[in-house]
Structure 1
Amino acid sequence: MAIDQLLDACSAIEPDGKEAILRDVRAYRLARVQEQLLKHEVPAVLLYDPVNIRYATDTSNMQVWAGRNPARYIVVFANGHIVAWEFHSSEHVWDGLNLDVELRSAISWTFFNAGQEAERRAEAWGADIVDVFRKHAPGERLLAVDRLDPYGAAYLHKHGIALRDGQVLMETARLIKSSGELVLIGESLRTCEMGVDRMRRELRPGMTENDLWAHLHYENIRHGGEWIETRLLASGDRTNPWMHECSSRVLRDGDLLAFDTDMVGPNGYCSDISRTWVVGDGRPTDEQRKLYEYAYSQVHFNMDLLRPGMTFREFSEKAWKIPDEFIKNRYCCLAHGIGMVDEYPSIAHQIDWESSGYDGRFEVGMTMCVESYIGAEGGSQGVKLEQQVVLTENGCVSLTDCSFETDWL
């Protein structure tokens, strides 16, 4: 399907069509995990990260809570068989999925769940894992793991299982999006755009940052979205430096207002765009317009530059040059992958390359966020912009129609 057809399809999904898309996406994602297992010559991967579990199985159970309470986990084998240890009385989250899955009851050894019995519980957990591994991968020793607490790692090592990094396997699997995934990402973005539009309509002096931020959450939840990863909304002098989370500060006429959606919407896909507005009906000041024009130029120059086949280092070297006065407060990366959440890769600025850069190559089907923050060191305001794109054979294409303030330029 051509990219323009995909973008059209993103705008409205009929229920019957949605089910067909979900079936295709589930099969594609599981096959991507199997492909990585075979490529790395690892027979299975143990997953605790709820986003990785969602990617491999499309099951979701208290995602934010499960992210810090390791209470459900799965093992995916290279042949596609899945053993899932589900949280107490939650087997129903697997209903309706056409998966080769064996369900068991999860064992948790966190202090919250196990107290002083943590080590004993970890041994019961480990015996279960070893039993499953020996049954479905006889004679094998390697097991990939995305995250694991010390007691568990020690038990598996003691019983002859060598652990490998499962994050590299899963991040690589998640890298290339199918056409069906792009449709689901589009549905999340349409929800995000409705939230942003609602914020724009409701924005007025006298309300608080928290009041305004609630409108994005409202639209996300009522359209079947899930959570918002951050609270990055700031106004006035809180826009510089970036990374102030929203507060009870009252918006004042003429303030700059900047935000980053970081919204995990319908189907578990993230919508990650940033915009900056001015509060009230007046025109922005010359200083505000100058900051905005720099940020707009950075995002769009780098979007025009970005294309498949280019290496991460080449992109970093050729990217828009940030004026000296804004270098200190630069955003943490030039661009980053996006899917269910922020994903590999994260592209370092050239000035940061030696300390945090790594190379790779952009490919067709990658979805990325192109970033900018412009705010002078010691300045009183700043502008945050970010655009979500997909890489096609001819370059990158925006996945959102959420408008920029082009009349400020």
Structure 2
Amino acid sequence: MKAGFNGVDFEDNINFTRLHAERLERAKKYLKESGFGALLCYDFDNIRYITGTHVGEWNRNKMNRHCLLIDGVEQPILFDPACPSKRQRVSWINPENIMPAVGSMRGSIPAEVGMVEQEVAEIVSYLKKYGAEGRTLGIDIVDIPLYQALEKAGISIGDGQAPMVEARMIKTEDEIELLKCSAAMVDAAYWDVAKHLRPGATENEMEALIQHQLFKWGAESVEFVNCISGQRGNPHSHTTSNRMIRPGELVYFDVGNVYNGYHTCYYRTFSCGRPTKAQEEAYAKALKWIRDGISVIKPGNTTADVAKMWPSAQELGFNDEKEAFLLQFAHGIGLGLWEKPAISRLFSLDHPFEFKPGMTFAIETWCPSEDGSGSARIEEEIVVTKTGHEVITKFPSDEIVSCGFPGCMFP
């Protein structure tokens, strides 16, 4: 990480003006290649990618906020519930391109009010204004009433998610720096976990510790913290409980930090006390699988090369690859938690995808301990470089971090 968390006047840092411009240009490029006349985006991450704006997680699932990117038009049109504020505080979009957003609020506003019809009329008016009304409109996600109203207005609708997935797959220099900043915050949070993990601590208490530290350091949001202890680790429960951690147990964490929109997905495994031989053996397997997978990540190789390094679902004790889907897995990461490329034995062996510089993703493995005391879980975040790859998650993963007792790494 070469950038600081705050801009300074004496050296280069994250350049947000460049970030806005480069993301918008990539969105325009893939819009043009799609053949659509415009993209209508309701997905918050796509809106942010195109417009460089955000309004808070409270609004994410209301389906009112949206943006319209029209082929050949310089600036996007943003529809935002904080429209008056955006007009004052967003200098990179003309005020006349920032409009209020109400919509139906997921049906909470009565249909007879006609908010959906008003929304469609606004969209159609911009398409007509810029000569795009006769071309297909790409939409990423949509409410059914809005979809039906657009069809009724004679608008041909296509899959707008596809070009945005492609646009966001290769990250810019500033996006990679933001991902590194976000990961650095979790690096530090895991140090605090190691100092506080002990018998009597509860899973939700440890989650609260991580949340507190991340917000203190400037997290925009914490999408999730999963703390999984003891027998809850096999099978993986994928959620935190109020269970109390006991001596001799493995505990693993997954942290979804969000810094300036950019996510982490970052597992580490700890032991309450010194790990048993069975726990160390499970960890060694998970570590080998993830490092073998990472070793083949470079431009020209494919996702199949990684998937070949992992055990089958049956070897892990599951019926099929769908059951094991999230346990030996990789997924793109950026403004979204899951982006392209994805890697799994479920599909990657038969449908390989080539690695290219600028791709960023999280890669994760899991292995249960034969003594029934828990499971090992490891995850690293990767940037594909011109010559290979870079691991940007820095909290040590060479061995289980032991905590809470004399003789442990963190007594």
Same fold (TM over 0.5): yes
Larger CA deviation: 303-312 vs 46-55:
303-312
Q: Which amino acid is 1:395 matched to?
A: G
State how many pairs are aligned.
Answer: 393
State whether residues 82 and 100 of structure 1, in contact with CA within 8 Å, keep that contact through their aligned partners in structure 2. no
Q: Which amino acid is 1:107 matched to?
A: V
Q: What are the residue-to-residue correspondences of 1:79-90 with 2, within 5 Å?
A: 79-87=73-81
* Aligned with 1:344 (options 328, 335, 340): 340
State whether residues 195 and 216 of structure 1, in contact with CA within 8 Å, keep that contact through their aligned partners in structure 2. yes
Q: Distance in 1 between matches of 2:400 and 2:63?
A: 49
Structure 2 equivalent of residue 258 of structure 1: 252
Structure 2 equivalent of residue 277 of structure 1: 270
State whether residues 141 and 160 of structure 1, in contact with CA within 8 Å, keep that contact through their aligned partners in structure 2. no
* Aligned with 2:392 (options 399, 402, 405): 399
1:22-79 superposed Cα distances (whole Å, 9 cap, x missing partner): 111111111110010111122211111111111112211122x222111211101233
Q: Which amino acid is 1:287 matched to?
A: A
Q: What are the residue-to-residue correspondences of 1:172-187 with 2, within 5 Å?
A: 172-187=166-181
1:214 and 2:247 correspond: no
1:321/1:137 CA distance change after superposition, 3 Å = same
How big is the shift at 1:116?
Answer: 4.2
Q: What are the residue-to-residue correspondences of 1:240-251 with 2, within 5 Å?
A: 240-251=234-245
Q: Distance in 1 between matches of 2:244 and 2:61?
A: 33
* Aligned with 1:307 (options 269, 278, 298): 298
Q: Distance in 2 between matches of 1:12 and 1:111?
A: 37
Structure 2 equivalent of residue 163 of structure 1: 157
How big is the shift at 1:309?
Answer: 1.7
* Aligned with 2:55 (options 53, 61, 84): 61
1:11/1:278 CA distance change after superposition, 3 Å = farther
State whether residues 282 and 367 of structure 2, in contact with CA within 8 Å, keep that contact through their aligned partners in structure 1. yes
How big is the shift at 1:362?
Answer: 1.4
Structure 1 equivalent of residue 407 of structure 2: none
Structure 1 equivalent of residue 309 of structure 2: 319
1:234 and 2:222 correspond: no
Structure 1 equivalent of residue 104 of structure 2: 109
State whether residues 199 and 213 of structure 1, in contact with CA within 8 Å, keep that contact through their aligned partners in structure 2. no
Q: Which has the higher helix share?
A: 1
State whether residues 331 and 373 of structure 1, in contact with CA within 8 Å, keep that contact through their aligned partners in structure 2. no
State whether residues 283 and 400 of structure 2, in contact with CA within 8 Å, keep that contact through their aligned partners in structure 1. no
Q: Distance in 1 between matches of 2:398 and 2:244?
A: 23
Q: Distance in 1 between matches of 2:192 and 2:228?
A: 17
Corresponding residue SS for 1:76: strand
Aligned residues: CA RMSD: 2.6
Corresponding residue SS for 1:240: coil
Q: Which amino acid is 1:133 matched to?
A: L
Unaligned runs of 5+ in 2: 402-411
1:37 and 2:31 correspond: yes
Structure 2 equivalent of residue 390 of structure 1: 383
Q: Distance in 1 between matches of 2:216 and 2:84?
A: 24
How big is the shift at 1:378?
Answer: 11
1:277-336 superposed Cα distances (whole Å, 9 cap, x missing partner): 001xx32001100110000001100000122122333443x3233595424274525311
Corresponding residue SS for 1:171: helix
1:137/1:191 CA distance change after superposition, 3 Å = farther
Structure 2 equivalent of residue 97 of structure 1: 91
Q: Distance in 2 between matches of 1:357 and 1:140?
A: 39
Structure 2 equivalent of residue 21 of structure 1: 15
1:201-220 superposed Cα distances (whole Å, 9 cap, x missing partner): 22121111111111221122
1:287/1:330 CA distance change after superposition, 3 Å = farther
1:46/1:19 CA distance change after superposition, 3 Å = farther
Corresponding residue SS for 1:28: helix
* Aligned with 2:283 (options 278, 284, 292): 292
Q: Distance in 2 between matches of 1:216 and 1:222?
A: 10
Q: Which amino acid is 1:300 matched to?
A: R
Corresponding residue SS for 1:232: strand
1:95-153 superposed Cα distances (whole Å, 9 cap, x missing partner): 143234601111311355413436x2211111111011111234532111111111111
1:370 and 2:363 correspond: yes
Corresponding residue SS for 2:253: strand
How big is the shift at 1:375?
Answer: 2.0
How big is the shift at 1:247?
Answer: 1.3
Percent of pairs identical after alignment? 28
1:72/1:230 CA distance change after superposition, 3 Å = same
State whether residues 85 and 103 of structure 1, in contact with CA within 8 Å, keep that contact through their aligned partners in structure 2. yes
Unaligned runs of 5+ in 1: 1-6
1:72 and 2:65 correspond: yes
Corresponding residue SS for 1:15: coil
Q: What are the residue-to-residue correspondences of 1:42-53 with 2, within 5 Å?
A: 42-53=36-47
1:153/1:111 CA distance change after superposition, 3 Å = closer
State whether residues 325 and 376 of structure 1, in contact with CA within 8 Å, keep that contact through their aligned partners in structure 2. no
Structure 2 equivalent of residue 334 of structure 1: 329
1:249-281 superposed Cα distances (whole Å, 9 cap, x missing partner): 1111221101111222x21101111011001xx
Structure 2 equivalent of residue 3 of structure 1: none
Q: Distance in 2 between matches of 1:406 and 1:181?
A: 30
Q: Which amino acid is 1:197 matched to?
A: W
1:311/1:240 CA distance change after superposition, 3 Å = same
State whether residues 80 and 100 of structure 1, in contact with CA within 8 Å, keep that contact through their aligned partners in structure 2. no
How big is the shift at 1:243?
Answer: 2.9
